[in-house]
Amino acid sequence: MSRRVVITGIGIIASNGIGKEKFWDSLKNGRSGIKTISSFDASTYPCHIAGEVTDFDPMDYIPPQTAKRIDRFAQFGLAATKMAIDDSRLDLENEDRSRVGVILGTSVGALAIGERQHSIFLEKGYKRINPFFATSIIPSSCATQIMIEYKINGLTQTITTACASSTSAVGEAFEYIKNGKADIVITGGSETPITPFAIATFANVNLLSKRNGDPSTAYRPFSRDRDGIVFGEGAGIIILEELEHAKKRKAKIYSKILGYGATSDAYHVMAPLPDASQASKAIRIALEEAGITPEEVDYINVHGSGTIINDKAETLIIKDVFGKHSYKLAVSATKSMTGHAMGGCGALEIVASILMLENQFLHPTINLEVPDPECDLDYIPNRGYKRNVNIILKTSFGFGGYNSAVILRKFEG
């Protein structure tokens, strides 16, 4: 059985906008959400900036008793799920909940609550540990909360493939519906990695930007003067639905998902495979499943991590797969505005891609003032533009050699 899969709802929490309207306005206008970290004193760290979400009140979306018991990343996921379900006008009371699933991606999960509770344990002893810590620390706790809140009886699953996690989750959700195992899947991801321990860890391996003076201009994917990652946080939730099911309930349809590819480098815990062959293969698998040629792709929403090695590698991957068409493609990096939300980044960027298809406008890669001669594609520097866009490729690559690619198409009835 092979069924068509569409997107009928989106929810988004990002450093540069909560809700699809604010998020899109920021993307369209090249507005960064990166600022000096306010959740803890990071002034002694080499990097003390991040894409923090500073205007989020969980009580606006979640019952107070639940909000107090769960980690911030689960709060984000629950809140974005409410947005997505409301956006899709999905009435789960009318659905067979055994045909509804939840597939989410995260990398570090509830790291923040883990750090806090560990400090309490060391300072005050085991009896002072939060009794809900045992269930909050589990990486699947966000998906669990969504499953319980909405009484989902189908598959609930959490995928952890480092920075590719939520793109992998969306791809697996697509396959699950396509193969007839569900009619609806709540998918995407959530991540809140802006913690003292995480910042220290990445600073110690020299992966973080040190441009602390002007935070909004610090993250510079594909620029010759880029100097590393700037952390971000957030959640992107997407309602995937079988096409005929969506039509039957007269749902608004944003776009289709056509294909998904995933491979593993089997090479190194941090560095990408030098010839990038497995990353290229993931894209080719997605293209083959979608039934399209490379020349039919109009735009790529790239991983764009902003490191010296990875940005060059990603440019080579595009040239390997797309050949001469690489120079006709438009390409941009959402992270330049949101920060790097680790396992949640792919979900934020898929939501960005959905909105670009809907608005027929491609957002820029900001802070790209000095192009790297080895990154010589159209990375849409600093100002977005209108363009007829039919097919978008979204790529994500994670530490350990995880490669994921998803292909979206504008819905035309």
Question: Tell me: the pLDDT tens digits for 98-142?
Answer: 999 999 999 998 888 788 888 888 888 888 888 777 777 888 999
- Mean of pLDDT values over 4-26: 99
Confidence of residue 283 (pLDDT cuts 50, 70, 90): very high
d(CA 349, CA 69): 29
Check: CB of residue 235 under 8 Å from CB of residue 266: no
What pLDDT shows up at residue 413? 75
Give me the phi and psi of 359, to 5 degrees please. Answer: -95, -5
Structure confidence by residue, pLDDT tens digits, 371-392: 999 999 999 999 999 999 999 9
What pLDDT shows up at residue 116? 85
What domains appear along the chain, each with residue ranges and CATH number? 5-248 (3.40.47.10), 257-410 (3.40.47.10)
Confidence check: pLDDT of 5 > 70: yes
Structure confidence by residue, pLDDT tens digits, 286-330: 999 999 999 999 999 999 999 999 999 999 999 999 999 999 999
What pLDDT shows up at residue 109? 85
- Other beta carbons within 10 angstroms of residue 253's beta carbon come to 18
Q: Which residue has the tokens 């090249």?
A: 30
Confidence of residue 71 (pLDDT cuts 50, 70, 90): very high
CA distances from 353 to 24, 152, 325, 407 (A): 10, 27, 20, 10
What pLDDT shows up at residue 342? 97
What pLDDT shows up at residue 1? 59
- Mean of pLDDT values over 355-371: 97
Out of 47, 163, 345, 375, the active site residue is: 163
Of residues 23 and 131, the one with the higher pLDDT is: 23
What pLDDT shows up at residue 153? 98
What pLDDT shows up at residue 137? 80
What pLDDT shows up at residue 196? 94
Q: Which residue type, as a one-letter code, is found at position 394?
A: K
Mean pLDDT over each residue of the chain, to the nearest integer: 96
Q: Is 375 a residue of the active site?
A: no
Helix (H, G, I), strand (E, B) or coil at 374: coil
- Mean of pLDDT values over 54-77: 94
Percent residues over pLDDT 90 in the chain: 90
